[in-house]
Structure 1
């Protein structure tokens, strides 16, 4: 091999990149890309934070559109009511949230009372509807978290429930029948917010319990006692729906007397 070829080969060998250089370039690229992404994410987050207030202000506007499309036929464009539905003046956000989030509204048809059914709106839409009604005709508002915390006087709440509520809702909160096709629903799975809303707004045939009838602390105690019932195991075993002597008597009639008759028939057949 000539000297010139050797020199050319050495120059080519000396010009090759080290394998570490490629790894370094990849690392630098990843760091740069990560930095750009982090900066863009922070900018988007800041934008979302800045627009959070405007979104909350716009919820009433969204609620107005939902109301006009789904509620105005019965309640009127200005909440004034019609022949098909009552006025919503003064019902407040608490009543709207209760009625819509339990599926009672919109009603499918006129009847003795609005029954629960699958909810037709999302949580955000329900809050928007409530915010719109509250902005037009203010009424009862959401309670403080303390009222719903379940840390009230359970014994006092149970006594108040027996005095004020059990005649319709049953002492075990299992509900009961009323007159003319109406009924008091069971509240064994009802949320604390909806218990409070029912007491304050008086839906269907329920009376309104304002602070003159039941103070905020009284309401807290009643809610605490009902939440206690929901979480407490039944010491007597199978509750038979907690409907009292009707279901218990039917159970005894069918299984108790039926069992005695079966034993008597067995004894007779055995003796024969």
Structure 2
């Protein structure tokens, strides 16, 4: 009986040891750099030039920024677990701990800052319009009056233009940006509006090269930040990584790689904490 008791105790100790080892091999959630098996990063899956899931993998400016940051945190590219972060889900994903950080055209706003923290900004974008390359009739926001202006269903971009700049613009809602581009190409619509970075990403696709141009209107400021859970120590580490990305030229290289074909006139890399209203 004594031998059986000792054996039982040993089995319990062994089970606890195995359990602890298994737990330690999981993703590091403490906010410390490296040391974890993987790091979970939220991106968009459907935004060419920014965050897109392709048969060859993940591509875009946000992906390049996130990969650089992850490397500085101690993770190689094959240790990154990419997760789709739709706009409506981003705060919830961070609050639940589904991801360590999110880089997904995530504009810093007071409303969002009440729920999550932001590193950055790492890109200053603006609401703009995309028009056909041969269209010289739209030179300012006012020229959108009596024009068919497209944006995706649920977006407020076109409504903002209508309410503030071109009250006679004819608003058109399409299910996707790709559908708007098709309509723009066929002349069913006259212009597409959203963030200039998003427009540049679409226009830079091979099948659209040279067919569209950005208006350059800069109708709003969109400060893209990297979202983290409220109080996460990752914020300061990500900010440091972003500063290093700018300093070593990797940021500028990523801009040219992802937006260059659209002739995107990007703003200089913003300073950390400098949020333009």
Q: Same fold (TM over 0.5)?
A: no
TM-score for both structures, normalised by structure 1: 0.21
Structure with a larger share of its residues in strand? 2
TM-score by length of 2: 0.21
Of Structure 1 and Structure 2, the greater helix share is in 1
Higher Rg: 1
